[in-house]
Amino acid sequence: MKRLLPALLGTLLAAPAFADDLALKVEHDITTLGADGVTRIVRFGERLVRRDNQSWVERILPAHAHEAEDHRAGDKNHKHMDTSAAARWVQRGNDGKLRVRIVNEHEKMVVDIAPVDYTNIGFDGKWTTANQLLDPEQIKRMRASSRSAPAGTRWYEGGTAQARVQVLWDEKAQYPRRIESANQAGTNRSTMIATREAMPTKLPWTRLDGYVQKEYSDLLD
């Protein structure tokens, strides 16, 4: 028993501390005024689910809006999986290394992503980004703002003279409730709003029985 106790304590101390469960609905609104005088508005939503060392982010898609109709019609131009609409599943090992995969529900496919390909799926390779939407280190580099904020949150501001960013940071749960950015010219502005939701009864990464396993290079034919 005396020999087992130090070993057990060492294992417990080496194990990473996990953040609390978190489920968010994330809404994006991006407005751009082009040189042609046309205003373009992009809106989309995502859901984030976090538990222990796993994080899942998926696009919110309208029913029947993806590629099913194209496939039934035999669309020959549709060759590759739509990575922008695929879910991103990130696992963090005890050694800090990440395993990143994208999941396509329609194709029943799970694709492993090597670090060299992270940028191709819009991932910066940081666990904090996958886990909290925004790296807390960025908040440390920003200035606290006097802007009125709900209890438990605080506004921070940063950026450059050409583009300003304001973040409403949840001090306890450690995630951004709102991010606002705009350039000095006023031609580009964006808003991200994150709203807490109840954790799903079944975690998304437990619904993958029967899915085909592939490498990202398999998609680059």
| Local confidence pLDDT in tens for the 221 residues of the chain | 555 545 444 444 444 567 799 999 999 999 999 999 999 999 999 999 999 999 999 999 988 765 555 555 445 444 566 788 899 999 999 999 999 999 999 889 999 999 999 999 999 999 999 999 999 999 999 999 999 999 999 999 999 989 999 999 999 999 999 999 999 999 999 999 999 999 999 999 999 999 999 998 888 76
Furthest C-alpha separation in the chain? 76
Q: What single letter denotes the amino acid at residue 131?
A: N
pTM for the whole structure: 0.83
Beta strand ranges found along the chain (DSSP E)? 22-33, 39-51, 54-59, 87-92, 98-104, 109-113, 143-144, 153-159, 163-170, 175-183, 188-196, 212-215
Distance, in Å, from the CA atom of 22 to the CA atom of 197, rounded to the nearest integer, reads 8
Q: Is the CB of residue 220 less than 8 Å from the CB of residue 116?
A: no
Q: Which two structure tokens, joined as six digits, stand for 196? A: 């807490």
Query: What are the backbone dihedrals phi and psi of residue 5, each rounded to the nearest 5 degrees, phi first?
Result: -60, -50
Secondary structure of residue 128 in the 3-state scheme: helix
